Amino acid sequence: MPLLSASKHEDSEGTVQIPTALGPIPFIGTVPLIDPEYPVASFNQMAAKYGEIYRMIIPGRPEMILISSQALVNELCDEKRFEKTADGNVLEILRSGVPDGIFTAHTKDEVWGAAHRILIPAFGPVAIQGMFDDMYDIAAQLALKWARHGSSAPILATDDLTRMTLDTIALCSMGFRFNSYYHDELHPFILTMSSWLRQASDRFQRPFPDVLYRIFAPGTERAWAERCAALGRTASEVLEARKKNPAERKDLLTAMMEGADPKTGLKLSEQTIIDNLVTFLIAGHETTSGMLAFSFVELLKSPQAYRKVQEEVDRVVGRERVRLDHLPKLKYINAVLKECLRLNPTIPGIGLRPHKDEIVAGKYLIKSSDNIFLLFGPAHVDPAVWGDTARQFIPERMLDENFEPLERKFPNCWKPFGNGVRACIGRAFAWQEAVMAMAVLFQNFNFVAHDPDYKLKVKETLTIKPDGFTMRAMLRHGMTPTELEQRLAGGARSAGTTKQTPSPLSDAPTISGVSTPTEGMKPLSIYYGSNSGTCEALAHRLAADASVQGFRAVAIDVLDAANGRLPKTGDHPVVFITASYEGQPPDNAAHFVAWLESLKNGGGEMEGVNYAVFGCGHRDWARTFHRIPKLVDSKLAELGGARLAPLGVTDAADGNTFLDFETWEFEKLWPALAARYSVEPKDLASALESVDATTGSLLTVEVSNPRSAGLRQDVGEAVVTAASQLTAAGVPAKRHIEIQLPSSVPYTAGRTTSPPSRRTRAERAVKHAFFQAVVKGAEEGVEADREEMQEWYETVRNKRYAADLSPLSNLLQPPPSAVPAREISMAGSRFCQAPCSGLPSGASAEDDWTGKTKGNNQDHAHGHDSLPLPISCRSDPRQQSDASAMGWRGARLPAATSHQIMAMGSKKRREIGVYGWLPPEPAEPEVARGWLLPGLAGSNHLTAARGIKSNSN
């Protein structure tokens, strides 16, 4: 091996020789300069000495060129000139253990292409959102562990966050529970993985050829083989568990077991599935846990940033259960995570190789046989981009309004998820998990560093993490661990999420409740470009809505199918729905875009084509944001096409793709088509009958879904004529059911069946609406007329539920088993009652039971005819708590010992609300909730969920 000088000189061709990093010991090249415990730190130190590009020599391995400046990283991220490679770096070592993994296989390998195309939909936006509840489940386990750990005990943050991310990727993508929090030690998979990755790094740095180690150090080779086998066994256990217990989950494991490559038709072999399970179990938790751990380290060193994170969580989430729709609003947390990955990229870099000999930076020759490694650490703190504060933790610079202009000026200045077609396939998964976890933890805890003098120390394997970092977690708001458990449970699943969302095609809603004749309808063609499946789902949704609007979808196909086939008759509109992938078209739209770009402007090639375009994108790719939708829209117009509606776009970062599409569809597209083609939307069956006008004024209904035109209520009764179970015992049941439709209802695709509502649920819903009208009237100073309310209730009962509901007089009586009632009311309330004579057991007459509020000397206004609203509970004077401890200010209430009493109040100290009766020992929680009728003053999130708008603050 020649020993090269580290000096620079120009060769005969005018290029500058790349400097070589050499140690003081001959014949072993760069090896003496590499710290085996911290190799990445060694590479970064050499970059500081040798500059933005240098060569590294390790005997027995190909030479490697390392890149460390933003300018060169940007140049080498051009996939037309360079491609990712698993040769000449640590991935080459890992290939011997998982040859077919999606991160270790070669791009040109047939198995990599097949796996990539099969797995992309499993990590699409719709699928990731459907994983939210499982992610929340694991994060809640972590929060409870820390709460029960106590506020004085040190927490090994990195270890616990690793447990969380491993359990999350296993549950969400494979339906498998490692239950890491129920063991004192880390799961054996984590320990084996850590040793395996460390050994891979050591093997890459060995100064002698591998054959010598096989001869003279066979023990290390056996240890390597044993660790590879142990990882494979864990993955095999996951696979076998799914085989023995088939599930209908549409997750990553299902995609690998059942999916076929849409391009070649190939299915993945069992060994390929095992290799990819190992890959995702490692990559899916290592990087995310590192990012979260670095975030805690940085935030605990930056009190100002820490405060901003907690203030944002309090403002956006409050004391509610964290929901999916909260995440896009957590802008500062998003910036914190980005800044932590800038300063501490958990993947230190990626390996590349040029397609042919290349000159970079105008002076360095890189041959096609050279291996290249991009060092993200130095590139992320390049002063040319980030200035004098490059190494400081400043999250504000990563806020969208600041980072997007910077990224446009300095492309590829932030690359923690890799590049191009080989970029991290699970980025959206990791980001949703990380933002959600930060929200849950900062909502419920205050954190302090256990060792105030801790200096960041990094543990390196294939990834990097903080080492030895400990902190303490203290519950906020005076909560106990039991109260935290109740808050985290938060009732049902988060609003706006669907557990284990099925594939986009099957999930797209349709409007096909009744037969819709197509005579006289205008033809409509819909073409989509989609890799992850989102645009395809939007296309099918549009097709389902078309018949309602007087159009018939005659084509729903990929964009490539539209090459040279666009209708030019003027009476046949075309809608294009497409995304951009780093400025490039989706796989099934590449030919169409190339064809469109090849046409010369002004040639009139698209005359007679009437079109509209909707585009999907993600603002993190600021330089190429919505490039393809914009190109299609503008190019069609330049070629003579007629734009029917303005370009519609959505940003996947906001998580509102479907709502944005529906808004564009119903506010822009359909009105434009109706005006152009003189088509009236089909008249659908009316929605729910209006309530009586005299009482309707007490209710304000706010509809947030713009698809109101598509809501149907044409339900009918059907008869089940036959039912049989198809599956054997021990597996999830699947049944064959035959249904006889009414003679007046023809069968059409998309019809659904639903069992009748339980009587208790129907009664609860109507009772709740009844009491809300009373609350609404009280807020607006309107006297609630009992006779009008009685008439309203009976009207709804007769029209919607017939005799299924009890008369109102029955519902206004407490159940026989209830504890004797005690009326509680608030000062100034128009529907209050004087207190009744007997006090509940254990209550004192000195307790503030008469409804006076602190700071409010107004007594009850008695003497008017109002509606009695008693509440009963088992009272314990030791458990009486001030209302302010429950998040509102007002009267004192006795806390229930058997059941939790929900109390909501307004910031204006107006009223507690309206309460119903609570049975002492209900048969099931639903019955208890059926009797507990909380007033919703000051609780906008609950009223919005029921469609009743609250005016309280």
Residue type, 920: P
**The one catalytic residue among 234, 287, 534, 695:** 287
Q: Give catalytic status of residue 287 as yes or no.
A: yes
Q: Is 744 left (phi over 0), alpha (psi -120 to 50) or beta?
A: alpha
Sign of the alpha-carbon torsion through 65, 66, 71, 77: positive
Q: Give catalytic status of residue 650 as yes or no.
A: no
Here the contacts of 148-152 (C-beta below 8 Å, separation 24 or greater) are: 148/481, 149/473, 151/472, 151/473, 151/474, 151/475, 152/472
Phi, psi of 657, deg, nearest 5: -55, -50
Q: Give catalytic status of residue 424 as yes or no.
A: yes
Q: What letter does residue 875 receive in the DSSP assignment?
A: B
* 365 three-state secondary structure: strand
DSSP calls for 536-575 = HHHHHHHHHHHGGGTEEEEEEEEGGGGTT----SSSS-EE
Structure tokens that stand for 148 in this block: 């029960």
| Helix residue spans in 51-183 (DSSP H) | 70-76, 90-95, 110-119, 125-130, 132-149, 157-174
**β-bridge mates for residue 912, sequence order:** none
**The one catalytic residue among 172, 340, 424, 535:** 424
**The one catalytic residue among 417, 576, 661, 831:** 417
Which residues line the annotated binding site for heme? Answer: 424
Residue partners of 892: CB distance under 8 A and separation at least 6: 847, 848, 849, 880, 881, 882, 883
Contact criterion met (CB below 8 Å) for 449 and 135: no
Of 367, 370, 336, 365, which is closest to residue 352 (Cα–Cα)? 370
Which residues line the annotated binding site? Answer: 424
Rg (CA), the chain: 32
Q: Is 934 left (phi over 0), alpha (psi -120 to 50) or beta?
A: beta
**β-bridge mates for residue 20, sequence order:** 55
**β-bridge mates for residue 266, sequence order:** none
Of 31, 53, 6, which is closest to residue 379 (Cα–Cα)? 53
Which pairing describes strands 642-643 and 470-475: parallel, antiparallel, or unpaired? unpaired
Of 522, 718, 742, which is closest to residue 610 (Cα–Cα)? 522
C-alpha to C-alpha distance for 702 and 762, rounded to whole angstroms: 21
Contact criterion met (CB below 8 Å) for 448 and 331: no
Q: Which letter, b or e, does each residue of 104-138 get, where b requires 16 or more Cβ atoms within 10 Å of its Cβ?
A: bbbeeeebbbbbbbbbbbbbbbbbbbbbbbbbbeb
Residues designated catalytic: 287, 417, 424
